[in-house]
Chain A
């Protein structure tokens, strides 16, 4: 029996008068990769940002319904604590203007970890999990901006891992990367689901097919269907899903 990590109940989201998500009921299981696909403005990133309450930053944001993690309403949780438990990797890799080491150590230090050895161990572990350690181990003191785009993205993953989250949200993590970097990030994701629950929003349908255990298809702020990835990609219930996957629109 799979355990439900995150679920939404009748979630509606508006930005001003525009509805970004309508009546969304969706579950994310523990230790799976849930891919979310759909055309632009279909609500997939809004869904992602509802899970760690990053939408709260937008002053026009309104919601109704419920987002629960481990059966607890996230709007009742301490928001900083929630964001530690639900890490996020953004579309554009944006390292902070610091060294490689300090980028990874940043979040950990912020949460109060001092002391050299333990910190170094956390940084090393995180970089290893993000498949970056071998490429940077000799130059942790260099500026993070010297890394390539793909390396920077994996650095951002390592930075997220270092604070030991339970869930990781990927918001189109490979949109700016070349195919080789993309496959490295994908390898990292597949490996990471052993320890973490992953939600992946992607514009790349093939990427969803490659790494997702289940795939959800969003269209015009609604969830059209969600099922095992093989099912979605071979025999979807809804003809619109089929159309999108085959590249007929969107």
Chain B
């Protein structure tokens, strides 16, 4: 009887383990099936490098280069803002802050992670967008820059908490060794602790950026959604994610447009997969 119970439990656990892989494979196959159909009508490179996205004109123009560049521009901007602040914040929490402030900050960071992205987008729309418009004296505040700033807020909790973990797990003896040689606190942080934690910090950055590139709601609300190739960060852009979210509802099932949106999904999938693998490689490097 006991053996039988063991058997059942083992199989159940096995099933749960396989289920996650099974679903990933199913999703991927479905994406491929629906997405690859677009290449019957559009060439692969015309799709990836095409400069015009007019999915409902006649004939449809399905070039996603503006969308890719939009996503990259917003992500790059968010990275430039969130990485220095996030890593700095992690160093402060892990090494400098007194215990009380440390706890308050950690709770604050978790709270930031808990804000739904639509709320962030909404706040951005009514505060950040007018501010950007006013600051740079441009016709609209719905720009890539606004999206970058907002997304930086979303990437920050991931970057801070993972980087803080990495910094915290650097052996205390490294720090003591440096201090015993007469290093100042800052010298110990800068020359010993941060380099020793660098694989973990890189992973934190990658995972934070993974979140940014996949984010949809907030960017859709504040980047202006113009599918043109941006010439500066102060112009409206449209990202891959926002395109799918905005257009999927109106695309006729089985149409060229519909298949193209799935192909956009594949591109997104590949990008975030690459980022995750990159983060994984860095994390494993740390373990060696």
Contacts and interface: CB of A to CB of B under 8 A. Distances in A.
**Interface size class for chain B?**
10 to 19
A94 B177 contact: yes
Contacts of A156: 177
Given A59-B99, A83-B180, 6 more contacts: A54-B176, A94-B174, A94-B177, A106-B178, A106-B181, A110-B191
A84 interface: yes
B181 A84 contact: yes
B182 A81 contact: yes
Contacts of B195: 97
Contact of A87 (B173, B181, B187): B181
A110 B173 contact: no
B169 interface: no
B174 A159 contact: no
Contact of A90 (B99, B177, B182): B177
A96 B99 contact: no
A165 to B, nearest CB: 9
Contact of A52 (B174, B180, B187, B192): B180
B193 to A, nearest CB: 11
A22 to B, nearest CB: 25
Contact of B181 (A57, A59, A92, A110): A110
Contacts, number: 58
A90 B99 CA distance: 27
A163 interface: yes
Contacts of A163: 181-182
B171 A94 contact: yes
Chain A CB count within 10 A is highest, among B173, B174, B182, B195, for: B182
Given A94-B173, A94-B174, A97-B196, A110 B179 contact: no
Smallest CB-CB A-B distances: 9 pairs: A84-B182, A107-B181, A88-B180, A83-B182, A94-B173, A80-B182, A80-B184, A110-B183, A94-B177
By size class, the interface of chain A is 20 to 34
A12 interface: no
Contact of A54 (B171, B179, B191): B179
A160 interface: yes
Interface SS, B side: helix
B151 to A, nearest CB: 33
Interface of B: 98-99, 171, 173-174, 176-184, 187, 191-192, 195-196
A81 B184 CA distance: 10
A87 B182 CA distance: 8
B191 to A, nearest CB: 7
A75 B187 CA distance: 21
A87 B180 contact: yes
Contacts of B192: 96
Interface in A63-115: 80-84, 87-88, 90, 92, 94, 96-97, 106-107, 110-111
B166 to A, nearest CB: 14
B187 to A, nearest CB: 6
Contacts of A54: 176, 179-180
Contacts of B174: 94, 96
A199 to B, nearest CB: 13
B176 A90 contact: yes
A87 B98 CA distance: 27
A54 B185 CA distance: 12
B88 to A, nearest CB: 22
Contacts of A59: 98-99
